[in-house]
Amino acid sequence: MHARVAAVGGNWKMNLDLAACRTLAGSIASAARAETFGCEITLFPPYPYLPAVESQLRGTSVRLGAQDLCERPNGAMTGEVSAAMLVDVGVTTVIVGHSERRHIRGEHDALVAAKLDAALSAGLQAVLCVGERLEDREAGRTLDVVLAQIDAATASITAGRFSGITLAYEPVWAIGTGLTASPEDAQPVHAALRAWTRDRFGALAAEALRIEYGGSVKASLSADLIAQPDIDGFLVGGASLSADEFLRIVRSVEQSSLSTAP
């Protein structure tokens, strides 16, 4: 049963141009005006297109997200973008610790923790990503890796601020590869993340926590994943670049929320 409001994010990564961002956001905004979604939707365009997407989404329930932020508030940090700047242009949510930042850009646990702190301090919601590489999974280290990642990222976070976090379990071997984790692969990891949260922040925090799955999510597989008790939504990359496919994923989540409501 999903007592939590499910959440679906569209992580557009470094794709599209201004016109395509406007068209894609406009299609999702139109759908949001025409129907009431049973889940929270957030779009994460590239930085330069945030204002254009914000103007498309204005007046709808669809939220504006950013893919990353700087851990520092201001100053000599060429090329970086602060949490306050994101808030200024209407961003409500920011992705922290995405595996492409960790593994391509070399972001380590301490930096992820500092970014999480900066996001929450500015009043942003954070989507904190964790996930194991293929070699970790094959060596049976999946839970060790993801629990160490959440432990490190939240080391200085108080229970009060933990409510600003949505987790995203994104196995690195599934991201952008077309290899979606099966419900049997993903559910135990989600359950372990919730159990860890119960131990660290208490039962209420654990029950309220949303844990999205990410990694080659597509509409044909989303209903089976969302039916799992600890999967509360999705962080969608490639499939979020098509309005039709993304909205099919959103609707599969919504139907699950409705059919399992108490």
Enumerate the active-site residues.
Answer: 98, 170
State the residue number with the nearest CB to ligand PGA: 237
* Cα–Cα distance measured from residue 16 to residue 13, given in angstroms and rounded to the nearest whole number: 9
Residues 176-205 that bind ligand PGA (CB under 6 A): 176
Q: Pick from 236, 249, 250, 253 the residue near ligand PGA by CB under 6 A.
A: 236
Q: CB of 156: closest distance to ligand PGA in angstroms?
A: 25
Q: 62-97: string of b/e by CB count within 10 Å (b at 16+)?
A: bbbbbbbbbbeeeeeeeeebbbebbbeeebebbbbb
Closer residue to ligand PGA (CB): 71 or 212 = 212
Angle at 210 (CA atoms; ends 208, 211), nearest 5 degrees:
140
Closer residue to ligand PGA (CB): 142 or 216 = 216
Q: Pick from 93, 215, 219, 256 the residue near ligand PGA by CB under 6 A.
A: 215
* Cα–Cα distance measured from residue 188 to residue 215, given in angstroms and rounded to the nearest whole number: 16
Regarding 170 and contact with ligand PGA (CB under 6 A), the answer is: yes
Q: CB of 187: closest distance to ligand PGA in angstroms?
A: 18
* Cα–Cα distance measured from residue 141 to residue 119, given in angstroms and rounded to the nearest whole number: 29
The residue type of 175 is I
Residue 17: which residues within 8 A CB-CB, separation 6 or more? none
Residues 113-132 that bind ligand PGA (CB under 6 A): none
Q: Pick from 6, 7, 217, 249 the residue near ligand PGA by CB under 6 A.
A: 217
* Cα–Cα distance measured from residue 256 to residue 112, given in angstroms and rounded to the nearest whole number: 32
Stretch that binds ligand PGA, among 106-114, 195-203, 236-244, 251-259 (CB under 6 A): 236-244
Residue 113: which residues within 8 A CB-CB, separation 6 or more? 152, 153, 154, 155, 156
Regarding 175 and contact with ligand PGA (CB under 6 A), the answer is: yes
Stretch that binds ligand PGA, among 28-36, 147-155, 197-205, 230-238 (CB under 6 A): 230-238
Regarding 11 and contact with ligand PGA (CB under 6 A), the answer is: yes
Nearest to 164 by CA among 230, 229, 116, 97: 116
Stretch that binds ligand PGA, among 33-41, 104-112, 135-143, 169-177 (CB under 6 A): 169-177
Regarding 68 and contact with ligand PGA (CB under 6 A), the answer is: no
The residue count for binding ligand PGA (CB under 6 A) is 13
* Cα–Cα distance measured from residue 67 to residue 101, given in angstroms and rounded to the nearest whole number: 10
Distances (CA, A) of 135 to 76, 181, 250: 38, 15, 32
Are 54 and 64 spatial neighbours (Cβ–Cβ below 8 Å)? yes
Q: CB of 40: closest distance to ligand PGA in angstroms?
A: 16
Binding site for ligand PGA (CB under 6 A): 11, 170, 175-176, 214-217, 235-239
